């Protein structure tokens, strides 16, 4: 077959080939600049591939894909599990002191994310929750140890208003329906005040 004729250099048109026929000084400079830029962009990828398993199919593919392949290479190099959020809620074990049903303390196991009211009722403890967690009463009033209380999310105004109606209020009181179980509950002790029974 005959040699393919070289394209003519037209003013205002850039033709990108690995080898551009020299049609003048400007075209030669363009070829040199393109070669330098290509080398600069290829060097980081080459260094990245060299630092990892060059024989890995994933890294060979990343090199072939160029800039898009760098993302693939980085994802392959990331340790297993990194950047992934665990989908398991987990459980914790703690103690609830109920002055009538469990004055010595009942050890309960709860799923992270459940609220204290539901956990207490699930274990047959007398934490009433007359409004069923709608913040319309204070019958799920609980007293928390200070170290746990300080780790709980801040109360909103509605919970504060309801707590004002609770009997036996302390500096570490919360409504059980508004407190969700977290890892911080592990090994802690929560108290249901005696005054809660007088309000039922």
Confidence tier at 180 by pLDDT (50, 70, 90): very high
Q: Which two tokens stand for residue 146?
A: 């200070």
In terms of average pLDDT, the best of 34-38, 61-65, 155-159 is: 155-159
CA distances to 11, 31, 170, 183 from 14, rounded to whole Å, are 8, 10, 78, 62
Of 18-32, 84-98, 99-113, 152-166, the range with the lowest mean pLDDT is 18-32
- Residues 73-124 pLDDT 10s: 444 444 443 433 333 479 999 999 999 999 999 999 999 999 999 999 999 9
Count CB atoms within 10 A of the CB of residue 179: 24
Would you state the pLDDT for residue 13? 47
Confidence tier at 195 by pLDDT (50, 70, 90): confident
**Which residues are CB-contacts of 113 (< 8 A; sequence separation ≥ 6)?**
89, 180, 181
Q: Is a pLDDT exceeding 50 seen at residue 139? A: yes
Inter-residue contact 173 to 190 (CB < 8 Å): no
CA distances to 13, 106, 156, 170 from 142, rounded to whole Å, are 78, 14, 16, 9
Nearest to 191 by CA among 134, 143, 140: 143
Give CA torsion, residues 160, 163, 168, 170, to 10 deg.
-20
Would you state the pLDDT for residue 27? 63
Q: Is a pLDDT exceeding 60 seen at residue 58? A: no
CA 130 to chain centroid: 35
Q: Which two tokens stand for residue 3?
A: 């040699």
Mean pLDDT of 53-62: 53
User: Which residue pairs, CB below 8 angstroms and at least 24 apart, start in 71-76?
Assistant: 73/45, 73/48, 73/49, 74/48, 76/52
**Pairwise pLDDT comparison (192 vs 65), residue with the higher score:** 192
Of 53-67, 98-112, 180-194, the range with the lowest mean pLDDT is 53-67
Would you state the pLDDT for residue 42? 53
Q: Is a pLDDT exceeding 50 seen at residue 46? A: yes
Of 9-18, 22-31, 41-50, 170-179, the range with the lowest mean pLDDT is 9-18
**Which residues are CB-contacts of 54 (< 8 A; sequence separation ≥ 6)?**
60
Inter-residue contact 197 to 99 (CB < 8 Å): yes
Q: Which two tokens stand for residue 91?
A: 């459980």
Q: Is a pLDDT exceeding 70 seen at residue 7? A: no
Nearest to 190 by CA among 159, 153, 152: 152
- Residues 168-179 pLDDT 10s: 999 999 999 999
């Amino acid at each position: 077959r005959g040699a393919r004729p070289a394209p003519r250099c037209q003013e205002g048109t850039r033709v990108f080939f690995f080898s551009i026929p020299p049609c003048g000084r400007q075209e030669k400079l363009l070829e040199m600049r393109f070669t330098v830029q290509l080398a600069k962009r290829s060097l980081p990828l080459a260094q990245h591939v060299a630092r990892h398993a060059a024989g890995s199919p994933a890294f060979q593919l990343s090199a072939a894909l160029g800039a898009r392949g760098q993302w693939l290479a980085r994802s392959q190099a990331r340790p297993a599990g990194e950047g992934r959020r665990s989908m398991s809620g987990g459980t914790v074990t703690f103690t609830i002191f109920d002055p009538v049903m469990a004055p010595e303390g009942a050890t309960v196991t709860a799923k992270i994310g459940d609220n204290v009211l539901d956990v207490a009722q699930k274990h047959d403890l007398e934490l009433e929750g007359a409004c069923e967690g709608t913040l319309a009463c204070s019958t799920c009033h609980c007293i928390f140890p200070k170290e746990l209380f300080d780790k709980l999310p801040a109360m909103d105004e509605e919970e504060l208003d309801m707590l004002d109606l609770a009997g036996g209020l302390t500096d570490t009181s919360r409504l059980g329906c508004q407190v969700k179980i977290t890892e911080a509950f592990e090994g802690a002790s929560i108290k249901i005040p005696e005054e809660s029974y007088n309000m039922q």
